Structures are given as structure tokens and as C-alpha cells.
Chains A and B, each alone.
Chain A
């Protein structure tokens, strides 16, 4: 069997020092075909951005491996175009210069005139020719994200990684840009991984929707294939039975994964004053000398219940 275009094999990642280490991602497996549009839906704080950083090569996984066309991913590079959640435009460069910086880096062999033309083409593609000379601070959020998309697509990446690209935008701009992303990915046959917290957005855009369970220890759920014909009309979609079903299943899966995490009880403790001092409570060695906490001073105690 031919290896998949992008292959993620049992990737895990944990943050923090040895004592208080929290595992963010556990055993992530994913394979994506060339030209496929995959959306990963998950709660905020579940580790979506961590997963994206690992795919982009900005972070190294603790275990497992990411392979693009069979080659392991060890460092970031322009073949994996990353559209950042907060746009990450350089504020001292205008729209054209922001895109040009990427073009200059990725196509050093081309002549200056070719690179200018290439840059113009992508600025035009996201309909920003009018804002060509504007600085990012003069643009709206939607326009900034379009610049960011143009910068990324101009690098001709093998795979486009979108980390919640639309989450900071208002609903109308969002819908607008969703249509634009659908159009761009369809015309370029671009392989896309979209990370989002909006199941509707995921189903509208993607060929395949994969839920990410709530963290810590987030992992990917089963794939939901979306066979709705393109171009998809968001108004018609609301009444499409397949859309409704996938949406229900994805949301149910996410809610179920969350329920497991919420099984903890917080209660007030009232204890008599006669208990001995709790010597196991950590105190700073230097500085303000805190006396040990008495049991009766512990106001709340959290008890985790494993379901």
C-alpha cells in the first residue's frame, strides 16, 4: 500500500516539568490523502494548536512521528504552509511586502520581476489589490486573515495548515471567508488541514471531519466522511439530512468525551479545629515564613471520581 500524503503516527505531547507534567495529546493517528480537506474539531484548550504546531514542525512530539510524503517532519518549512490563528503579519510591512517576504524566501531562483508578479497574483487572489499598500493595523480582522492566507498560499505549500483561522472574526466576515477558503482549496486542489471549534464550519468545508476529544490526554475520534456535493450552499446545507446527521454525531461524540472529564465534585469541608498541622503543605524556604496550614483552614477540596 502506498503511504498516505501526510501521516501522523501515535504522536504524544506533554508540557511542564517532571513533577506537574500534563499530557496534552496522546496517541494521535491521522493519515491524509493528497488533495483532501480534513477538519479537526475540538474544544478550546484541548490541544488543537499544539497538534497544529507539531504538524508544522514548530514543536517536536515527545513520541511518534509526522511524515509528509514519507519524509519525517523535524523542523518548520515552507512546504507546510501555516495560517496562524492571530494572523501573525509583520506590522511594519504593508500587505504587498508581507506576502513578498514569503515569496522572496521560497523562490530565490526567480527574477525580481517574476517574484513581484507572483506576489501581485496572490494579493489579487484574496481580493486585496485595493489594500495593496496598507499596513496591517489599517486593515480589518478579515482582511488581515486574507493577507495571511495569501502569504501562505503564495509559498505553494504541499499542505495548508489552518489553525482556527476564522475564530477571531465576526459571524458575517467568517461566512464570507469560509466561502473563499472553499473556493481557493477547490481551484488549487490544495491539501488542507483545518482546525476549528465550530462543527458547522468543519462540515461545510471539509471532506472529512475528525473530532478531538477534550483535554488533557486529547486524542482523535473516528472520522466522519462528508459526501455532500460541492460547491456547498450554506443555506441549503441546514436542511440537508446528511449534514444534520454528521453534525449530531460529531457534537455527541465531543460532549461524551467531555462528560468523562467533568466527573469531579467540589464541596465545602467543615472540620474541627483540633487536627494537627498539615506538614506536607509546601512552604517557601526563604522569604515570607508561612506557618503550616491547619486542616480546618482548607476551605475546599476537590475529589476526582474516575467514571
Chain B
């Protein structure tokens, strides 16, 4: 009896225990190893204003945490959309044409592991002429360039994995090229594409922080970097937790959408 009752609640109890354990570890480390690290209590006290009034705007770099999150999300959405718009067709070309794949695969494999920190300066240089807009365009460029690879590669794999049977159906029905693309290839590739989209979103969210840190734009990452310079270490932790939660929520949302297409 007791055992089954525990089983029913363990989805709630176990994660709480896990969080508790990390909080205790945090407290111990801040008390012993690193005296500069604010303990959980101090962090909460310093962050309360930002959490309780999440949409307050007190100054350019002093705003509620959700307001900052919103700025970051808008920028990510733009960069992510750009990544999908470029990445999906590119993935289709790679999957459909062996020649295309052979030509561009090496360069893709070389560009893929380059860190966002390396792309950002190039992005800024690229849009130097844009004046005030330079930092935004540079950040968008960085997000798009870093986030598109999972979409490109998953789409390409998906297109190559379309069963020959489906293509035979298209051939027997004498479907035109565009019809084959829209009626057979794209629906058959959708599950792979959405896996790519989910991974891309994760990366886009990772990149935003680096991009904001270096460009000093308002947002979670910008706030984090500013508070580090202002020696308010509590807010760094607040930002880390926010980034983590938002990333987790985004991933969950995408996997819900992804699962809807998995039935295929």
C-alpha cells in the first residue's frame, strides 16, 4: 500500500529532492570553497524585484526578468526563422542531389562546429555599414548561421530516407516534379525536419546569450554580462536559471509539435 502511494507521487517528490540536493550543495560551496558565490538566500533576496515584477521597466538595463526574456525571444525568433528559411531548402538540395551533396558536404562539415563566439565578430563586420542596426543584424546572422545546421542535416537525411516505395507510387502515377515534392517528399520528410527544427531551436537559444553578451543588447544575456561587470553576482545566477527554464520550455513545446508529425 505504502509503496504504491509513493510510486504515484514520485514524479513530484523525486525532482523536488533533486532540486533540494543541488540547493544544499550550492549553499555548502558558497559557504566553504568560494566566498564570492552568493548563497541561495542572498540570490533570492537580490532577485526578488526582478521576479515579482517581471515586466517592470526601470531603465535600459534594469528591467523585469520576463521583459528581458521577451527581448531575447524576439531576437531568437527572427534568427531562427531565418535559419529555417535557409536551412530547409538547403537540406532538400543536399538530400536530393548527390552532386550537390558532394560539392557542399565538406564545407558544411567544416562550418558546422564553428562556435557562435567566432561568428559574431564576422557578423558585426559584415553589417558595419548598417550603422545602428549593425548589432542586431550581426546577432541575427550569428543565430541563423549557428542554428541552421541541425535543420540542414536532418532534412537531408530525411529526404534520403524516403522509402523507394513512395517514390515508385509517384512514378507510377506520373506525378510532376513539383507535385512529387509537395505530395510525397515533403510529407515523408516532415518527421525528420521537425527533429531538426527542435535541435535548431535549442542552438538558437544557446547562441542568443553569447550574441547579447558581446553586443550589449538588452535581453537575458546582455543583463547577465552587465551585472557581472557591475559585480551583482546574484543576478548572474538569476539569468542562468531563467535561460535554463526558457530553453527547457522551448524544447518541450517543440517536442509536442514534433510528436504530432511522428505518426507518419
Contact = CB atoms under 8 A, between A and B. Distances in A.
Interface string A69-107: 000000111101110101010111000000001100110
Nearest to A81: B172
A82 B172 contact: yes
B183 A84 contact: no
B174 interface: yes
Given A77-B174, A105-B174, A106-B173, A91 B168 contact: no
A177 B137 CA distance: 63
Report, as a range, how many residues of chain A touch the other chain.
20 to 34
Given A58-B168, A84-B168, A91 B173 contact: no
Say what secondary structure dominates the interface of chain B. Answer: helix
Interface residues of B, number: 17
Contacts of A24: none
A77 B172 contact: yes
Contacts of B173: 78, 101-102, 105-106, 155
Nearest to A161: B172
A50 to B, nearest CB: 13
B187 to A, nearest CB: 5
A155 B187 CA distance: 23
Contacts of B107: none
Contacts of A76: 168, 171-172, 174
A63 to B, nearest CB: 22
Interface string B154-178: 0000000000011011011111000
Interface of B: 165-166, 168-169, 171-175, 179, 183-184, 187-188, 190, 263-264
Given A84-B165, A105-B175, A106-B173, 17 more contacts: A58-B172, A76-B174, A81-B172, A84-B168, A88-B168, A88-B169, A90-B166, A90-B183, A90-B184, A90-B187, A90-B188, A91-B264, A92-B264, A101-B183, A105-B173, A105-B179, A155-B173
